[in-house]
Amino acid sequence: MTTPIKNDLFLRACRGEKTERPPVWIMRQAGRYMPEYQEIRKETSFLGLCKTPDLAARATMLPIDMLGVDAAILFSDILIPVEAMGLELRFSEHKGPSFPNPVRTREDLGRLLVPDPVASTGFVAEAIRGINRRLDGRVPLIGFSGAPFTLATYMVEGEISKDFSRVKRMMFSDPELLHDLLDRITDTVIRYLSMQLETGIHAYQIFDTWAGSLAPSHYRTFALPYVRRIVDALRKYGVPSILYVNGSCSLLEEMVSAGTDVISVDWRLSLSKVRERVPESRAIQGNLDPVSLLGRPEILREEVRLILDEMKDRPGYIFNLGHGILPETPVPMAKYLVQLIQSGLSAPMPKG
Ligand code: CP3
């Protein structure tokens, strides 16, 4: 039995419908900027948090209870299924994620599995069940996965990279190896997202965060076909899909051809320009610069007004940031942002 969703603004906007107001959620809405998140994090490491369903469910609920956003997103990380493929994963406070044994050769690739998602990441399914119990249909739950190219950047680079020179070198020196790696990641992602869909998520987002670093022809060769394969394989579930790319403005038409219901964009192109290039059959999500939450409330209000004006009376629009919320964001500013959208700009400004 699935619980009916009381606030279904987000799902209606994903389907391209006209809504009373835009739904709003925030990428990385459960995170280090929240003291309550830091409290939960004190109990364990970041990976421990992802792997403990009860803690992951509590973290997921924080922005629902504290900010009142219109959708929940599973608390996890895009690198969780990569660890399940057999690649040791570490998270450090200062350096973020790293893989001490990155994939550089065909032998490295040969050691990777296409894991059974329930056996290796059953804690994610357990977290989804716990979140849905807590949500009790208040708002929809978004599941997610990294896209094959973005996951490959971490697996080949082994750490956060600025220029992606190792994965790009593989593209130019051994494209067959990169394609075989992307193929194996794609099989893993399809199984992993199928598990999430069968457990009860109401929409899913594919994060191809770093695909914006590719030339359009390389995007068409090394990123797009794999995302398309995932979207095609999951269409049978009849659940809305979202594709996010940071640096999307050079790739909008290509992103559309991946076939997701929603195109999620960063702030580098205004939404009215995005709307001209994305057909009406697809919804749009974005695109406030996350740094605007670090400034003055009255300036934030003007930034939000600009975006809302551009999307006024247009169906199929979801308010979000253009990338994840920053750890230094003051919580009152995040709350103010959500209230601005929900009140049609009349929310009271935070003090101080
Ligand atoms: O949106 C949400 O609230 C759901 C949870 C979520 C996290 N990561 C939690 C997280 C989601 C959807 C992600 C996706 C993710 N993870 C992406 C794609 C989107 C993006 O932001 O670009 C990427 C590239 C990663 C990989 C990753 N995870 C990095 C580079 C880092 C370190 C940098 C950072 O921002 O902390 C992480 C760690 C991470 N993922 C944290 C959280 C809350 C912080 C961990 C901590 O508690 O110390």
Reported as a single tens digit per residue, the pLDDT across 66-84 is 999 999 999 999 999 999 9
Pocket test for ligand 1, best of 28, 60, 91 (most atoms within 8 A of CB): 28
Which residue has 């580098």 as its token pair? Answer: 268
Residue nearest to atom 43 of ligand 1 (CA): 31
Q: What is the pLDDT of residue 202?
A: 98
Give a yes or no: residue 352 inside a domain. no
What CATH number has the domain bearing residue 142?
A: 3.20.20.210
- Nearest Cα neighbor of 59 from 31, 90, 33 is 31
pLDDT confidence of residue 307: 98
CB atoms near residue 89 (< 10 Å):
18
Separation of alpha carbons 205 and 293, rounded Å: 23
- Asked whether residue 56 is domain-assigned, the answer is yes
| Domains: count for the chain | 1
- Between the CA of 280 and the centroid of ligand 1 the distance, in Å, is 31
Is position 26 within any domain? yes
Query: Is 348 inside a domain boundary?
Result: no
Give the whole-angstrom CA distance, residue 222 versus residue 211: 9
Q: Residue 55 falls within a domain, yes or no?
A: yes
- Beta strands 96-98; 90-92: pairing state: antiparallel
Looking at ligand 1, which atom is closest to the CA of residue 146?
Answer: 18
Token code pair at residue 36: 């309550």
pLDDT single digits (tens) 86-142:
999 999 988 899 999 999 999 999 999 999 999 999 999 999 999 999 999 999 999
Ligand 1 lining (C-beta closer than 6 Å): 27-32, 41, 46, 73, 75-79, 96-97, 144, 160, 207, 209, 324
Nearest in space to 59 (alpha carbons), one of 83, 81, 78, 76: 76
Q: What is the mean pLDDT of residues 31-44?
A: 96
Average pLDDT, the chain: 97
Q: Which atom of ligand 1 is nearest to the CA of 31?
A: 43
Closest CA to 69 of 325, 283, 274: 325
Cα-to-centroid distance, 346 and ligand 1 (Å): 32
pLDDT at 214: 97
Does residue 350 form part of some domain? no
Mutation test of ligand 1: which of 45, 55, 60, 78 has the most ligand atoms closer than 8 Å to its C-beta?
78
Res 268: pLDDT: 97
pLDDT tens digits for range 95-111: 899 999 999 999 999 99
Residue showing tokens 């279904």:
8
The boundaries of the domain holding residue 260 are 9-343
Model pLDDT, residue 173: 98
**Alpha-carbon distance 23 to 276, whole Å?**
21
CA-150 nearest atom, ligand 1:
24
Q: Tens digits of per-residue pLDDT, 279-318?
A: 999 999 999 999 999 999 999 999 999 999 999 999 999 9
Residue partners of 308: CB distance under 8 A and separation at least 6: 22, 319, 341, 344, 345
Across the range 196-213, mean pLDDT stands at 98
pLDDT band at 1 (very low <50, low <70, confident <90, very high): low
- Would you say residue 266 has pLDDT above 60? yes
Report whether pLDDT(351) > 90: no
pLDDT tens column, 154-189: 999 999 999 999 999 999 999 999 999 999 999 999
Contact (CB, 8 A) for 293 and 333: yes
